[in-house]
Structure 1
């Protein structure tokens, strides 16, 4: 059909479900005569009768009973689609935000796998240290490294993390005691508060007063480690795959729980968005790889 009389179909649906033109009129806030006219026009459009007009009620004809489930299903689908659109203006695009270090050292390499699982979604990734408030933004979800105290937002723990000492394997001579060697190695550090405090404590056992190199980003620190520029405390989540492959090593049996952990952050009503549910389920599945690697790391130590 070139034209669907939606108003008449809606009137038919409500009248059929209630067996009453009057109740349909009340639901649509129109007169009973208006409903009767809409039904009449639909019957003329189809060229058949849909209702038997009785004294105090109406009753569907065989043709009306045949048509009703299709009309009901059609309007139900429309209502579902409209509801999703009103809650999510971009249901086919997932916009997420996270830290530069987590994005560059882990997430970006994994996103291709998610896109294979969800080819109907396009992904927009923003990176930065700013704590999003989701005010006037199209952001769907954020992965944050903190204490989980984000007022007004739904916050759920994603992954716990640990600090470990790490360096390039070329800096350690397996024929000499490791403890004697690390005191003479150049030490590197990023300027996050917990690493500054940890260095202050650890430096008491070393013959160094300050790190050789200080940077402002964990990703840059790891690049320095890969360049064999020294030794540093790093988050396990950012180097676990490098440790597994022997590209970096952790030469001493020490680790410290980080002050912060990874959290999924979003407004409460974003949780019911289908695309957010899909991404969260995928992300939780993927971080199990890091958790399993941590278990193996502890056994090796």
Structure 2
């Protein structure tokens, strides 16, 4: 074991100190949201005086209020649907597109790749995209929250590049046994690409969960608003109590807003610990070498 020099130990301490400070700064806003959301109404004036104020009593009235209404649960259902269904469909379509593009003998491969990369630099524009969605009769349909964002060119290129790192000899040996492209993709490529696919799935899931612009653009029916749009309406409205249809004398509107932020943030945060290990290996190409 190599012994660290005094200078290396000092630098290690400095680095750890900086990382701890960054972690505290990053986590503090969320801690503040949680504390305010469970602070009783009578103690809320103390929060404005002391940002590190911890409530003497824990009060879940704000959470009870938002879950007694139909607005938050309905928005949660919509967000959950577009996140789960959208992630599965996006992953499927992206993989089915990336695999043939990773085959060097695909006719017109370079042209197709150029067209995909081009969309990362220039998109079709807001009005043309809206007209396409309208022509597909997706306005005020839940699928308008999924289909326009179905495939990310960035994620597609990551998957394609990962497939390129898998040795051709492995594919050739499987073909000698009579396997076709679908068998190679689903029996060989995907199992070997599990860490990368988990990472891409998380990218898609976070994107769908946090998306609100498509809903603002394509959805007029408030029953189809995802949770992020509901949150935006509450935070930017002076009449958030009317949007939620709650009695603000039972819970302060500030506590209610913080409770909504917490409810919106916690579900997607709970996914990270289960997929954290994949970040260190999912995007690092070349996990298999000849």
Q: What's the TM-score, normalizing by structure 1?
A: 0.27
Structure with the larger RCO, 1 or 2 (CA within 8 Å, 6+ apart): 2
Q: What's the TM-score, normalizing by structure 2?
A: 0.28
Give the strand-richer structure, 1 or 2. 1
